[in-house]
Amino acid sequence: MRKVLLASMIFTLPILADMDRCVACHGVDFEKKALGVSRVVKNMSEAEIKEALDRYKRGEGGPMKEVMIKEVNVGVDTDAMAADVYNEIHTPGFEEPDSEFIFKKRRSVRGLHKIKMALKDADKKKYQKLKPQIKSFAFDLITYDKQLRDSINFDEIKPKNYTPKEAFEKVVAAKKCVDHSFKDEELHKCQRDFVTLAAEISLGDAMALQKKIKPKDKKKPEEKLPQTAAEAEKALVGTWSVECAKGMEPNTWMSKEVTIDNNLTAKGWMKIYADKECKKLIKEIKNNYTFKVGSLTLGDDNKEAWEVDKLLGEEKKPVYTMVRFVAPNKVLVAGATKSNDGSTPQKRKNHFEDWWPPCLKKESK
């Protein structure tokens, strides 16, 4: 069944160059002047043969060019045809390869020819677009040919980044290799070179993609905010400084630097500035206090915040306020409103909107 299918495919595709046809006019070894007018092809180099075939392909030639124009148009491309002719002439006892080989070679010649022409003078952008074509043709080759597939050790192939020109040159070399192959082993070697190229490109792209994805993929350690009062107290230990104060108003008291130790004693400076940028310092006082974290409740914006009792000075005069963790190392400190002045637990500072609060950032150790 497979044989029949293959045979019918061969007949529907023009085969490489049916040398038997040439013999009638050129002689068995291309030793005659065809129809008395052509050169003796046997004495021509491969490059000269190709040149002559290219001329016919362009519609040019000698007085009897029409005969050859027809022949050339049946062939695949002139590189492969010239290689065929030259090889046949110069290989003693040359035997026409079997149909299956011709079919396989033809597929390779055709595929590589297309890729080669497309890659020629391709810039980076065009090359990028052509990569799928290269990969897909290589995939075709190995899918079709188990022997070829088994002869490639994919584990040994390393990612590579080719420039468009380098890739083009590799394809040209593989195509040239295929043109000059007349046996299975020879053809496989050339196909292997091409499949390796495609695999190197594929792996190179995969690596590049991985690099691009990595920064996003690198998971930040889960930012876990304190869940209990004890955790909140522990999280507050450290050195804090003002990172931002939304729309600071002039003449605002604010804590610029605070260090909180394990006994929840805060040492810092309360400073008063005349400007929003905190550049013109008007006054500063040392402001040591201890504090205690109470329960998790809601600020006046109905979002969670911790109750904090600050105990100021020698008398431990309490100021009731709230803090909100926006990150493990970033807290907002509540500001007072008219009704919430921080003087009684019920009227603790709970205002997290508008120009207040300053946002404190803990310095990382």
Which residues make up the interface to ligand HEC (CB under 6 A)?
Answer: 17, 21-22, 24-26, 34-35, 37-39, 41, 49, 52-53, 61-65, 67-68, 71, 85
Answer whether the bond into residue 226 is a cis peptide, omega within 30°.
Answer: no
Task: Name the minimum Å distance from CB 197 to ligand HEC.
Answer: 30
Distance CA 177, CA 87 (A): 13
Nearest alpha carbon to residue 328 among 294, 350, 361: 361
Task: Name the minimum Å distance from CB 82 to ligand HEC.
Answer: 7
Give buried/exposed letters for 265-291 (b at 16+ CB in 10 A, else e): ebebeebbbeeeebeeeeeeeebebeb
Report which DSSP code applies to 40. B
Task: Name the minimum Å distance from CB 175 to ligand HEC.
Answer: 19
Mapped onto helix, strand or coil, the DSSP state of residue 264 is coil
Q: Nearer to ligand HEC by C-beta: 74 or 281?
A: 74
Cα radius of gyration rounded to whole Å, the chain: 41
Task: Name the minimum Å distance from CB 80 to ligand HEC.
Answer: 11
Nearest alpha carbon to residue 41 among 90, 78, 80: 90
Q: Nearer to ligand HEC by C-beta: 25 or 360?
A: 25
Task: Name the minimum Å distance from CB 99 to ligand HEC.
Answer: 17
**Bridge partners for 310 per DSSP:** 291, 319
For strands 289-298 and 358-362, give the pairing: unpaired
The residue number whose beta carbon is nearest to ligand HEC equals 62
For helices 19-26 and 78-90, angle between their N-to-C axes, nearest 10 degrees: 60
Task: Name the minimum Å distance from CB 10 to ligand HEC.
Answer: 16
Q: Nearer to ligand HEC by C-beta: 96 or 169?
A: 96
Distance CA 248, CA 3 (A): 86
Task: Name the minimum Å distance from CB 68 to ligand HEC.
Answer: 5
Mapped onto helix, strand or coil, the DSSP state of residue 238 is strand
Q: Nearer to ligand HEC by C-beta: 182 or 291?
A: 182
Residue 139: phi, psi to the nearest 5?
-60, -40
